[in-house]
Amino acid sequence: MKLKRLRQRRVSLRVRLTLTYGGLFFVAGLLLLGVTYVLFDQQLAQRGQKFLAITQTDPSGRRITVAPQPPNEARPGDRLMSADTERFLEEERDKLHDAAVTSLVTQGGLALLAVGGLSVGFGWLIAGRMLAPLHKVTDTARRIASAPAADHNLHERIALHGPNDEVKELADTFDTMVERLDRSFDGQRRFVANASHELRTPLTLGRALVEVAMHRKAASPDVIQLGETLLEINSRHERLIGGLLLLARSENEITDRAPVDLADVVGHVTAQTAREAALAEITVREEPGEALTSGDALLLERLVQNLVENGIRHNSGPGGWVEVTSRAGDGHVELTVSNSGPAVPPYEIPALFEPFHRFDSDRLVTAKGAGLGLSIVRSIVGAHSGRIAASPRPGGGLVVTVTLPACPPGARETLRPDRQIEIIRS
C-alpha cells in the first residue's frame, strides 16, 4: 500500500527542473570552492624566506641581537636565529594557515549556500515561466477529456501566442488535431441524423408495397409466400439499420441522465420477451431487486432486452432457461443475466462483444439478430460509465454481469412515476 501511494505521488516537471538547476549550481560551486582551496593551500604551504638574526658586540663586550634581516642582506659574522625563534615562527605560520583555510571554507561555504538558495529560487521562477504554456495545453486537454460526451468541448483551442519554439509547435499541433476531431464528430452527427431517415424510408416504402401486393384478392399462394420472404428480409434489414444507429448513438456518454430502477426494466423486458421465449420453449426467470441508477431509460431497457434475447436465442433449445437478476451494492448496482446453452470457450468471450460476430457461425443466415446485440450492450455500459464482464458457465451457457454507478441519493427523489410509465409502455 505504501509503495502504491509513493508511486501515485509524482514529482512535477517544474520541481525536477528546479532541482536540476540547483544541483548543477551546487556541484559547480563545490568544484570551484575545492579548486580554490587546493590552490590556496599550496600557496600557503610554500616556505617563505628564512630570516637571519644579526648579532653585534657592544663596547662592554656583550653580544646583542639586532632586528632580523633577510638572508640576502646578511653580512659575515651574522648567524641564524636560535631554535626557539624558528619554532615560534613555525607555529605562527601554522596558525595563519589554519585561520586562512578555515575562513575560506566557512565563509566560502556560507556564500555558496546563500547564492545557491537564490539560484534555486530564480530557477523555480524561470521554470514556472517556461512551463506556463504547457500548463495551458494541459488545462485545455483536461477540459476536453472531462467533457460528459466524447464530442463535447471540441470547439476549444489553445491558440498559444509567443515565440515560435517547440512549445508553440506542440500547441499548434494539438489545435490541428482537435479541429480534425471536431470535424469528424460533426460529420458523424450529420450522418446519424440523415441515415435514420434516408435508410428507413426506402425500407418502409418497400414493406408497404409488399403488403399491398400480398393482400390483393388476386394474389396467388406463390406471391403470398414470396411476400412473406421479402417481409422477413426487410425486417432483418430494419433491425440491422436500427442496431447500427443505436450503436452509433450509444458510443457517446449520456449527458441527460434520469433516475432509473433496473427492477422495473427487468420486469418490463421479461414480459416483452415472454412470447419469443414460449415459442422457443425457454423458461425466463427473474429476480428483480431494487437497483437505482441514473442514465437513459431507453438505452438501459435496450441493454437488458439485448442480454435477455441473446440468452433466449443462443440457448440449448427446448427446456433451456434464462435468469435475470438485479440488485444494489455499495455505491453501484448489478444486473446479471445467465442462461443455459452450449459451452463457450473462455478465449471466445471477448470476440462476442465485437460487431457482427457470433459464436456459432452456422446461425449467421438463420439468426434473427444482426450480430450487434452484445456490441450495443458494451457501448451502452460504457456510455453509462459502467463495467461489463462475461464468463462461461460450468454446465454450458454464459453469465453476463453489468455493473453501473448507483443513483446519487439526492437524485432518487426525482424518480418520476411518469418516467416509469414511459418505460413500461415503450
Arithmetic mean of pLDDT over the chain: 76
Residue 347 DSSP symbol: G
Using one digit for the tens of pLDDT, what is the confidence trace for 159-187?
888 778 788 888 888 888 888 888 887 77
Per-residue burial over 263-300, b = 16 or more CB atoms within 10 Å of its CB, e = otherwise:
bbbbbbbbebbeeebeebebebebebeebbbbbbbebb
In order, the DSSP letters of 8-38 are HSPPPHHHHHHHHHHHHHHHHHHHHHHHHHH
Tell me which residue of 149, 143, 129 sits closest to 174, measured CA to CA: 143
- Checking if the pLDDT of 34 tops 50, the result is yes
Residue 285 has pLDDT above 50, yes or no: yes
Angle between helices 221-250 and 297-313 (to 10 degrees): 130
Say whether pLDDT at 403 is over 90: yes
Is residue 367 predicted with pLDDT exceeding 50? Answer: no
Q: Distance (Å, rounded) from C-alpha 39 to C-alpha 47? A: 15
Is residue 250 pLDDT above 80, yes or no? no
Alpha-carbon distance of 253 to 299, in angstroms, equals: 11
Residue 251: pLDDT over 80: no
Q: What pLDDT does 228 receive?
A: 86
Q: Does the pLDDT value for residue 426 go beyond 50?
A: no
State the pLDDT at residue 62.
Answer: 63
Range name among 47-51, 155-159, 200-204, 387-391 with the lowest pLDDT average = 47-51
- For residues 141 and 144, give the distance between their C-alpha atoms in angstroms, rounded to a whole number: 5
Highest mean pLDDT among 51-65, 96-110, 266-280: 266-280
Q: How confident is the model at residue 417 (pLDDT cuts 50, 70, 90)?
A: very low
Of 211, 256, 248, nearest in space to 231 by CA: 211
- Report how far apart the first and last C-alpha atoms of the chain are (Å, whole number): 49
CB burial class (10 A; 0-12, 13-18, 19+) of residue 352?
buried
- pLDDT for residue 65: 55
Q: Rounded distance, CA 307 to CA 322, Å?
A: 10
| Residue of higher predicted confidence among 258 and 84 | 258
The share of the chain scoring above pLDDT 90, in percent, equals 13
CB atoms within 10 A of CB 419: 16
Which range scores top for mean pLDDT: 165-174, 192-201, 339-348, 411-420?
339-348
Cell of 116: 545557491
The SS3 call for residue 107 is helix
Pairing of strands 321-328, 387-392: unpaired
Look at residue 297 in the predicted model and tell me its pLDDT: 84
**What span, in angstroms and rounded, lies between the C-alpha atoms of 229 and 218?**
19
Model confidence at 60: pLDDT above 50: yes
Better-predicted residue by pLDDT, 22 or 197? 22
**Least confident among 45-49, 94-98, 134-138, 292-296:** 45-49
Q: pLDDT value at position 151? A: 61
What is this structure's pTM? 0.54
pLDDT for 159:
80
Q: Find which of 87-96, 237-246, 293-302 is predicted with most confidence, using mean pLDDT.
A: 293-302
Q: Which carries the bigger pLDDT value, residue 246 or residue 377?
A: 377
Q: Which of 300, 266, 307 is nearest to 384 (CA)?
A: 300
User: Does 334 have pLDDT greater than 90?
Assistant: yes
